[in-house]
Amino acid sequence: MGLASNKVMDALKGIGLNLYERKLWVALLARGTSTAGELSAIASVPRSRTYDILQSLAEKGFVAAQQSKPLKYVAMAPEESLERAKKKMEEDFKDTQERINDLKSSPVLKELNEIFTKGLKLVAPEEFTGALKGRYSLHQQLTSMFKDADKKINILTTPEGLNELYEHHFDTLKKASDKGVDIKILTSSTEKSADAVKALGGFAEIRNVNDKELPVSGRFAVVDGKELVFSLTDQKTVHATQDLAMWSKSEHAAKEVLEPLFKLAWNNSKAVG
């Protein structure tokens, strides 16, 4: 076993430290102060990589470099290191956010849009298809679709999915409704989602599937009969990071496959309330 438990190493991985960074930082904590060569041997990290990785740790706020010969690195209390790393991340985030905002208001964005528009002409809509891994990616894609909706949004979802629609997409769906988009939401049960039904029901038509006549359950959304997201996993049995869905602009799949299925289920449903 190494200097730190697997639990500790996994936790450090969770805050963005790669394997060599984790090993070198823990090794330095165990030594207090050390040269790159000594740390390389202790942590079993290639010497050719050690200097760059220690420099990366210094930039992130985890270690300090002594201006000595040979160059030595000094460990700080873990709590102080983590706090410094946190502040550095916050500063980097603000800098990146400002750069993105500047980019959005610059001529560069216009040029990028022109490139994208030209590219669209070369690609059939159905080729815009991809996998969405993780519920965060799924909700990002749904938000984009709901924002761009012009006529209708049809959603089949689970009780858990209905609550997530309320939590993540209430404002976006409300704005879509305000501009005239017809929103229909179909679910297998509303017993555990009373708040979501009450809120979303203010502008969307919500129905329960009659599971005795049509035992259908799952999650998909179709916008304007042109774009869709279809979940491939059961959110009750997988972690949010492992949730998997398919996104596509295939009008055939949206209009000829999922919309008829939605209509069949809708006709075998009953109004909520």
Pairing of strands 152-157, 182-187: parallel
Is residue 119's pLDDT more than 80? no
Q: In what order do the strands lie in the sheet with 33-35?
A: 33-35, 72-75, 63-66
Please report which confidence band the pLDDT of residue 3 belongs to, taking 50, 70 and 90 as the band edges. confident
The answer as to whether 207 is a domain residue is yes
Please give the residue that has the higher pLDDT: either 159 or 183. 183
Please indicate, yes or no, if residue 13 is contained in any of the structural domains. yes
pLDDT at 231 over 80: yes
Contacts of residue 198, Cβ cutoff 8 Å, sequence gap at least 6: none
Its domain, for residue 88, covers: 83-122
In a domain, 1, yes or no: no
Indicate if 24 and 40 belong to the same structural domain. Answer: yes
CA gap 147, 135 in Å, rounded? 18
Each residue's pLDDT tens digit, 63-73: 988 877 888 99
Boundary-marking domain end, from 16, 44, 76: 76
Domain with residue 221: its CATH number is: 3.30.870.10
Please report the pLDDT score of residue 214 as a whole number.
66
List, for residues 236-245, the tens digit of each pLDDT value.
888 888 999 9
Q: How far is CA 48 from CA 24, 32, 51, in A?
A: 13, 22, 7
Name 269's bridge partners: 209
Q: pTM of the full predicted structure?
A: 0.65
pLDDT-derived band at 211, boundaries 50, 70, 90:
low
**Same domain flag for 32 and 167:** no
Structural domains of the chain, count: 3
Does 214 reside within a domain?
yes
Same domain, 88 and 188: no
Q: Which of 139, 52, 183, 119 is nearest to 24 (CA)?
A: 52
If asked whether residues 93 and 64 sit together in one domain, one would say no
Other C-beta atoms lying within 10 Å of the C-beta of residue 144: 14
Identify whether 135 is part of a domain: yes
156: pLDDT strictly greater than 80? yes
Considering the domain architecture, whether residues 117 and 129 belong to the same structural domain is answered as no
Q: How far apart are CA 239 and CA 135, in angstroms?
A: 9
Q: What is the pLDDT of residues 23-54, one digit of tens each?
A: 999 999 999 999 999 999 999 999 999 999 99
